[in-house]
């Protein structure tokens, strides 16, 4: 089976021998972008923003440095990052072939997260892996922890260079899996939903929510997000309403408890426009997660100048900075008291906006391209 690579357009299999990447550039960088086929999540958001940033800069990088970019993408997703990069559409089943045979020859292969489908390719001279988190060491035990640790060690071993999305993520890996590879810490950016909100209409669930504001939590609702603490906390805040949005299939028992609470509103996964609407109208955002490599939603809300309550665990103090409020104890009654006390005075809107402005997707893309060039010795 052969695969034809086309710049900026769809590619189709051809018969005969495999055609290697042969672009205009002297140097070839391949980026695995299978996260574009994921359900909406942090990894897909990361790939969307990084890939788009690379796509907008690709022409100038090719002109100035002789570097050509190719993205490995799922079927039907050629063109997603614009016309100035190349695409190779591959099926997931081909990952074993790419691992064993030099289907692609390139100077640098970038796996933009540690769970990539194509975790390595045979024909790459150098391999950069971005690590978002090792939450499994905080959430798994026993045999499950051993399996996850083994998989992560194997992926680390394939990488000649590393990137981390926060200082915490780097330190966490350093403690549990000491490494010798060169690395950089490159922060994620934060999407500005406040611009979207100006154009979004009223969502179908608007009538369920109080006009005087509400507390808001948005996450995947994995157990480590600690949404159950928020539901229990609402027993001590009878005059306030909590809205929880996310993938309830991850936590069906909690959904049953939340639905029975008179001051908790349950929403399923929301669209981008609906998210912007909720961010703009909430009184505060609550995020008591116990395992984060970065934590995008709190920073997205800060773009609106809204107060944010966080746990003091993992990366959240690093990204939330001094602008966020922190629960000293993740005990529902104490959490409720903290919310009441903090919301009795106005939040420092300027501090919230300034903190969120530290994280920019254009800056993120520039730093990755600079890192690519450094790895290539350019």
Sole residue written with tokens 């990952």: 95
Encode 244-257: b = buried (16+ Cβ within 10 Å), e = exposed. bbbebeebeebbee
User: Residue 375 and residue 304: Cα distance in Å, rounded?
Assistant: 37
Please tell me the predicted confidence (pLDDT) of residue 183: 98
Q: What is the pLDDT of residues 32-82, one digit of tens each?
A: 999 888 877 888 999 999 999 999 999 999 999 999 999 999 999 999 999
- d(CA 193, CA 40) in angstroms, rounded, equals 16
pLDDT band at 18 (very low <50, low <70, confident <90, very high): very low
Q: What does the pLDDT read at residue 23? A: 53
- pTM for this prediction: 0.87
How much of the chain exceeds pLDDT 90, in percent? 78
Can you give the pLDDT at residue 13?
A: 38
Q: What are the extents of the domains in the chain?
A: 2-189+360-375, 193-356
Average pLDDT value over all residues in the chain: 90
Residue 140 tokens read as 């798994």
Which residues, 6 or more positions from 299, have their beta carbon under 8 angstroms from its beta carbon?
190, 319, 320, 355, 356, 359
Percent of the chain with pLDDT over 70: 92
Asked if 313 and 290 touch (Cβ cutoff 8 Å), the reply is yes
Distances in whole angstroms, Cα of residue 180 to Cα of each of 113, 117, 173, 346: 19, 24, 12, 47
When pLDDT is cut at 50, 70 and 90, the band that residue 290 belongs to is very high
Domain 193-356 class, CATH top level: alpha beta
Asked whether the predicted pLDDT for residue 156 surpasses 50, the reply is: yes
Overall average pLDDT of the 183-188 stretch: 98
Cα–Cα distance, 246 to 189 (Å, whole number): 22
17 pLDDT band, cuts 50/70/90, is: very low
Q: What is the pLDDT of residue 40?
A: 72
Q: Are strands 284-287 and 161-164 parallel, antiparallel or unpaired?
A: unpaired
pLDDT band at 26 (very low <50, low <70, confident <90, very high): very high
Q: Which residues pair with 3 in a beta bridge?
A: 13
What stretches of the chain adopt beta strand conformation (E)? 2-3, 6-7, 13-14, 27-32, 67-73, 86-89, 108-111, 127-131, 161-164, 183-185, 215-219, 242-246, 264-267, 284-287, 308-310, 325-326
- pLDDT at position 6 over 60: no
- What's the number of CA atoms in the CB half-sphere (13 Å) around residue 48? 12
Rounded to the nearest 10°, the torsion over CA 276, 282, 285, 286 is: -120
pLDDT, tens digit, for every residue of 125-148? 999 999 999 999 988 999 999 999
> Same CATH fold, 193-356 and 2-189+360-375?
yes
| pLDDT (tens digit per residue) in 102-123 | 678 899 999 999 988 888 888 8
In CATH, the architecture of 2-189+360-375 is 3-Layer(aba) Sandwich (3.40)
pLDDT confidence band for 1 (50 / 70 / 90): very low
**What band does 95 get if pLDDT is binned at 50, 70 and 90?**
confident
Separation of alpha carbons 168 and 347, rounded Å: 26
Q: Which residues pair with 308 in a beta bridge?
A: 285
Instruction: Count the Cβ atoms, other than its own, within 10 Å of residue 56.
Output: 15
Give the model confidence (pLDDT) of 305-341 as tens digits: 999 999 999 999 999 999 999 999 999 999 999 999 9
């Amino acid at each position: 089976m052969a695969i034809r690579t086309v710049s900026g357009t769809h590619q189709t299999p051809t018969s005969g021998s495999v055609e290697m990447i042969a672009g205009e550039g002297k140097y070839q960088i391949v980026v695995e972008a299978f996260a574009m086929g994921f359900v909406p999540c942090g990894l897909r958001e990361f790939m969307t923003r990084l890939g788009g940033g690379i796509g907008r800069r690709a022409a100038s990088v090719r002109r100035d440095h002789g570097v050509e970019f190719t993205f490995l993408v799922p079927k039907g997703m050629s063109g997603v990052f614009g016309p100035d990069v190349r695409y190779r559409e591959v099926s997931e089943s081909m990952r074993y072939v790419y691992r064993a045979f030099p289907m692609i020859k390139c100077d640098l292969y970038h796996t933009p997260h540690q769970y990539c489908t194509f975790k390595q390719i045979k024909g790459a001279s150098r391999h950069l892996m971005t690590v978002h988190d090792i939450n499994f060491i905080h959430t798994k035990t026993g045999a499950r922890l051993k399996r996850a640790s083994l998989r992560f060690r194997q992926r680390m071993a394939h990488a000649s260079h590393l990137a981390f999305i926060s200082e915490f993520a780097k330190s966490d890996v350093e403690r549990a899996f000491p490494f010798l590879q060169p690395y950089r810490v490159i922060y994620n950016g934060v999407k500005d939903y406040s611009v979207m909100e100006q154009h979004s209409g009223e969502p179908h669930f608007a009538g369920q929510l109080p006009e005087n504001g509400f507390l808001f939590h948005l996450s995947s609702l994995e157990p480590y997000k600690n949404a159950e603490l928020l539901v229990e906390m609402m027993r001590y805040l009878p005059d306030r309403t909590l809205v929880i949005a996310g993938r309830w299939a991850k936590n069906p028992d909690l959904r049953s408890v939340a639905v029975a609470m008179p001051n908790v509103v349950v929403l399923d996964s929301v669209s981008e426009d609906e998210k912007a609407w909720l961010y703009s109208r909430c009184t505060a955002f609550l995020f008591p997660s116990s395992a984060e490599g970065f934590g995008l939603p709190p920073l997205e809300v800060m773009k609106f100048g809204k107060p944010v309550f966080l746990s003091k665990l993992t990366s959240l103090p690093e990204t939330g900075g001094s602008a966020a409020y922190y629960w000293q104890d993740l005990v529902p009654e104490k959490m409720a008291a903290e919310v009441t006390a903090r919301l009795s005075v106005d939040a420092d809107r300027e501090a919230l906006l300034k903190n969120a402005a530290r994280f920019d997707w254009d800056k993120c893309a520039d730093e990755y391209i600079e890192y690519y060039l450094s790895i290539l010795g350019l």
